Amino acid sequence: MAASNLTSRIRQANEAGRKGLIAYLPAGFPSLEAFFDILKELSTAGADVIEIGVPFSDPVADGPVVEQAALECIERGVTLEWILRELPKHRADIDAAVLLMGYTNPFYQYGYERLAADASAAGVDGFIVPDLPFEEAGDLLHALKDTDAELVPLIGLNTSAERMALYTKGFGGFCYVVSVLGVTGGQVDVQALVGEKLAEAKACFDIPVALGFGIKEPSQLAGVGEHLDAVVFGSALITHLREGGTASEFMAAWTA
């Protein structure tokens, strides 16, 4: 079975001697007009995978930076329908793999079969759904089975080895290890908290292992690199853009 686009992009980065770079940005941030231009800039500047955040009114896994940005996007009228309508107009100019990060409610309300079809047509390579546990993921996995899109497994610091193994069947793309027992954008001592869990994930999964939540700069990855294939950043990117910086400037610290 051929590797998914998510897996392939991260493996290509690893073969080039670096970690895969996964950038998160809420759909419609910092404005409807600028959003897709920034996605293209992120891709050109070295992002291997781009997570498009689906704004939701109750983002239980998101910290204050992401939550505030998402609420602003909702006020601009951004919906899942908007994303899947607008993304096809720009997808050919985005070289990076693209996935949707969102919560169960908008996806369920849209309809999983319709979601799978429309996302496939839009060039979506996968989904991250933080509030969809293994026991409730069957319907979405079934809807995606005839597409190239993967449902990415999320692994927490408190996920047992037995439960981790459940996510090796049906899920794919990469394994997303959450670096904190909390929400995005928090403070994290990666080496102290996460090394053991990354090692467990590497031993369990045959797909790349990525680390996210609270990652702001490359120096945080010191000491865990051997267990890590990719890194996810979102809150730091949003803050950088909000302060007037560019996507290229942000990516330069990770590609140097």
pLDDT per position as a tens digit, 32-43: 999 999 999 999
More confident residue, 185 or 219: 219
Pairing of β 126-128 and β 20-26: unpaired
pTM of the model: 0.92
Domain containing 36 — which CATH number?
A: 3.20.20.70
Bridge partners (DSSP) of residue 248 are: none
Residue 81 is among the residues annotated as catalytic for this protein: no
The average pLDDT across 139-144 equals 98
Q: How far apart are CA 47 and CA 66, in angstroms?
A: 19
User: How many domains in the chain?
Assistant: 1
Q: How far apart are CA 179 and CA 52, in angstroms?
A: 20
Single out the catalytic residue among 15, 41, 58, 62.
Answer: 62
Bridge partners (DSSP) of residue 21 are: 231
- Domain of residue 159 covers 5-13+20-255
Single out the catalytic residue among 48, 51, 125, 150.
Answer: 51
Does pLDDT of 191 surpass 50? yes
Helix or strand (DSSP H, E) at 49:
strand 49-53
Residue 135 is among the residues annotated as catalytic for this protein: no
The one-character DSSP state at 116 is H
